């Protein structure tokens, strides 16, 4: 694994300063850029370690605190091990914060994050990849549809509310997407029931989007997050295999 250099950075966002984590191979050479969207628990050691792993594979990775309007991360105090069933007050505090991040605000912010990567000496020129977890999967899908000329690949894992019946559901951007997409869905996930999985696939297929969606049998919502009760090691490693394969064939160093 390549040695990496990570640091906290501040990004000039539309409504203030967004704190973020930036990490890249420690070799002084620009590398393909990846925007990593957090889950609802936010920017914390687990997400930094995931970004480090991506950087070790040859990428420059930015993980923004998308809840920056509510303060620097962590915006809600978190235990080292997160078990929402044992700590329901965590979601009680996070719920209003999550709902306050409207699609319009999130996509205004996405422009700032992508611009930060475009200006980063450690990031190679050209389109970037996006990956997201839980709520971040929806942000990844929405970013691919809002900024199609800037996104070459987008992935989402144990995504939530990706294809609802609401007028602002992210799947409705399918006809604008030019990126290749991959989704790893948790099995029997209440945040993304089978009808939404089918609706997402139908929309992407109808729009001619290169995509693949897979159900991770037995995995729960949040299966990639090792600091939570939902973690599934096998499903997490499967996610890494799928994600790195997507990045390699779309923005990876081998394409330079």
Residue-range domains of the chain with CATH:
4-255 (3.40.50.1820)
Q: Is 74's pLDDT higher than 60?
A: yes
Q: What angle do CA 229, 165, 108 make, to 5 degrees?
A: 75
pLDDT of residue 1: 66
pLDDT of residue 91: 85
Identify the CA nearest to 155 among candidates 187, 130, 126. Answer: 130
pLDDT of residue 22: 98
Q: How confident is the model at residue 86 (pLDDT cuts 50, 70, 90)?
A: confident
Neighbour-count burial of 234, counting CB atoms closer than 10 A to its CB (0-12 exposed, 13-18 middle, 19+ buried)? exposed
Question: Helix (H, G, I), strand (E, B), or coil: what is residue 167?
Answer: coil
How far apart are alpha carbons 203 and 175 in whole angstroms?
Answer: 8
From residue 15, how far is each of 8, 38, 106 by CA, in Å? 19, 19, 11
Q: What are phi and psi of 142, to 5 degrees?
A: -65, -35
How far apart are alpha carbons 240 and 74 in whole angstroms?
Answer: 25
Q: What are phi and psi of 91, to 5 degrees?
A: -70, -30
The reply to whether omega before 74 is within 30° of 0 (cis) is yes
pLDDT digits (tens, 9 = 90+) for 209-255: 999 999 999 999 999 999 999 999 999 999 999 999 999 999 997 66
Q: Is 85's pLDDT higher than 90?
A: no
């Amino acid at each position: 694994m390549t040695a990496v250099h990570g640091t906290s950075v501040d990004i000039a966002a539309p409504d203030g300063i967004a704190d973020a984590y930036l990490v890249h191979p420690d070799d002084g050479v620009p590398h393909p850029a990846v925007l990593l969207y957090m889950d609802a628990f936010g920017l914390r050691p687990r997400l930094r370690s995931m970004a480090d792993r991506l950087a070790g594979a040859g990428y420059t990775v930015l993980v923004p605190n998308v809840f920056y309007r509510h303060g620097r991360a962590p915006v809600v105090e978190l235990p080292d091990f997160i078990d929402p069933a044992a700590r329901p007050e965590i979601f009680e505090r996070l719920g209003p914060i999550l709902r306050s991040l409207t699609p319009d605000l999130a996509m205004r912010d996405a422009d700032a994050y992508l611009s930060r990567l475009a200006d980063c000496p450690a990031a190679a020129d050209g389109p970037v990849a996006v990956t997201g977890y839980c709520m971040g999967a929806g942000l990844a899908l929405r970013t691919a549809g809002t900024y199609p000329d800037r996104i070459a690949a987008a992935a989402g894992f144990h995504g939530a509310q990706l294809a609802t019946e609401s007028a602002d559901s992210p799947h409705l951007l399918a006809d604008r997407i030019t990126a290749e997409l991959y989704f790893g869905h948790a099995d029997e996930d209440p945040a993304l029931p089978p009808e939404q999985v089918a609706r997402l696939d139908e929309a992407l297929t109808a729009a001619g989007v290169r995509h693949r969606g897979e159900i991770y049998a037995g995995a729960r919502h949040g299966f990639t997050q090792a600091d939570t009760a939902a973690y599934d090691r096998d499903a997490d490693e499967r996610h890494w295999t799928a994600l790195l394969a997507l990045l390699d064939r779309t923005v990876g160093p081998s394409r330079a």
